[in-house]
Chains A and B, each alone.
Chain A
Amino acid sequence: MPPLKELAKRPERLTSGHRLCAGCGAPIAIRLILAAADKPVVAANATGCLEVSTTIFPYTAWNIPWIHSAFENAAATITGVETMYRAKKKRGEIDEDIYFVAFGGDGGTYDIGLQSLSGAWERGHRFVYVCYNNEAYMNTGIQRSSATPLGAWTTTSPVGKVLPGKTQWRKNLTEIAVAHDIPYVAQSVPSNWRDLTLKAEKAFHTEGPAFLNVLASCNRGWRHLPADTLKVNQLAVDCCIWPLYEVENGEYRLTYKPREKKPVEEWLKVQGRFQHLFSPAYRYLIDEFQAYVDREWERLLEKCGETKK
């Protein structure tokens, strides 16, 4: 992967003038991922913050061909585009190499779009699917999704007298992707440009489906200061809540190992959505949270061949 100064020479594929919130994690991820593409890119986008805020008619922040049609179908849509490209190539009507990418939030990926994504993976189209995962339906105003972690306050898992926010653990979509046996799957964060661009480059170079699950904080929904976006994302990595790893042709590899595994409290305490967990009534959930994280982390270490001998 070229250094940042080289990436900065590439065309700006997502321009200024979009209307995502100040400090939003999504455009950082999208800009870096698109900068990692060494060939032209055509994108599809699921309904969500990114789609809405970048294309308020008559303005578009996209300097690349881009299509949005609905919420649950970004994968099906991009496979239609990619298939037409193959049809045209076969007939000799196009000769350029093009990358195809689909963007969706966690709502459009973990929940409503999972069926079409699973279908596209099974069919084996060459495309990169990027989930910018902000752990809730942020575009509609912070409702819980299956990516929302245990104990998080959202507007559909509010904290009340009898309920402590979300009562379920999150779905492990990255492992669901791995189970499809697609050639490239990775988790990353916008706070580590090198990790993210390396994985994006690998994803674009993959001859078949590639999946990037990128944790991208929403400061409005997570309740932290806009300037803390990178810090909060990086803490998720250092607490092993969002491990950075990749699975290439079935081979697991940990791409970043925290020097010391921080307790999940470190991540929870910097976000307003978890503040109630620090009251005596709900503190037990922090232990449950830690137990979930520990279990997933140990499993991952084992898969990556990183377990202590």
Chain B
Amino acid sequence: MSELKGWKELVPGGLIVEAGNAKEYKTGDWRTEKPELNPEKCIHCFFCWAYCPDNAVIVDAEAGKMLAFNYDYCKGCGICAAACPAKGAITMVPER
């Protein structure tokens, strides 16, 4: 979390000029369950990437590979596991 700024330090007009700075705000601690990837079973269909509400699926788009989950942001909704067509590639497990 950033320090709270005084009024003289703010950009006029109530604007936010740092595009996409929500990335500084980590939503991973909302999670009660987390997706676990079994890379051997992954077919790299990118469905988990497409359907993740939080952009929390790390892919190498050039190589066409699904790599991992980004637990900084993953809220543990389980949509990736539900959307995954490769049985056993994504498993939801309780967060510890």
Contact = CB atoms under 8 A, between A and B. Distances in A.
Q: Do A and B bind each other?
A: yes
A227 B31 CA distance: 13
Contact of B16 (A31, A59, A190): A59
Contact of B82 (A9, A18, A21, A231): A231
A227 B59 CA distance: 21
B16 A58 contact: yes
A14 B78 contact: no
B16 to A, nearest CB: 4
B61 to A, nearest CB: 4
Interface in A43-96: 54-64
Nearest to B78: A227
Contacts of B62: 9
A64 B22 CA distance: 13
B53 A28 contact: yes
A7 B49 CA distance: 10
Interface residues of B, number: 43
A4 B25 contact: no
B94 interface: no
A227 B73 CA distance: 16
A56 to B, nearest CB: 8
A23 B51 contact: no
Contacts of A193: 47, 50-51
Given A17-B73, A23-B77, A226-B79, A8 B49 contact: yes
Contacts of A231: 82
Contacts of B68: none
B12 interface: no
B25 A19 contact: yes
Contacts of B46: 4-5, 8
Nearest to A13: B20
Given A4-B47, A16-B27, A16-B70, A229 B21 contact: no
B23 A23 contact: no
A255 interface: no
B40 interface: no
Contacts of B6: none
Chain B binding surface SS class: loop
A230 interface: yes
A229 B77 contact: yes
A58 B2 contact: yes
Nearest to B55: A16
Interface in B36-93: 45-47, 49-56, 59, 61-62, 64, 70, 72-73, 75-79, 81-83, 92
Given A22-B77, A54-B22, A58-B2, A5 B64 contact: yes
Contacts of B56: 16
Contacts of A227: 77-79, 81-82, 92
A15 B82 contact: no
Interface string A1-41: 00011111100101111111111111110011000000000
A228 interface: yes
A270 to B, nearest CB: 13
6 contacts: A12-B20, A17-B73, A23-B75, A27-B54, A59-B22, A226-B79
Given A14-B55, A26-B53, A229-B82, 15 more contacts: A4-B47, A4-B50, A5-B61, A8-B49, A16-B56, A18-B54, A20-B53, A22-B30, A23-B77, A23-B79, A31-B55, A57-B14, A60-B18, A227-B77, A231-B82
Closest 4 CB pairs of A and B: A227-B78, A17-B22, A23-B77, A22-B75
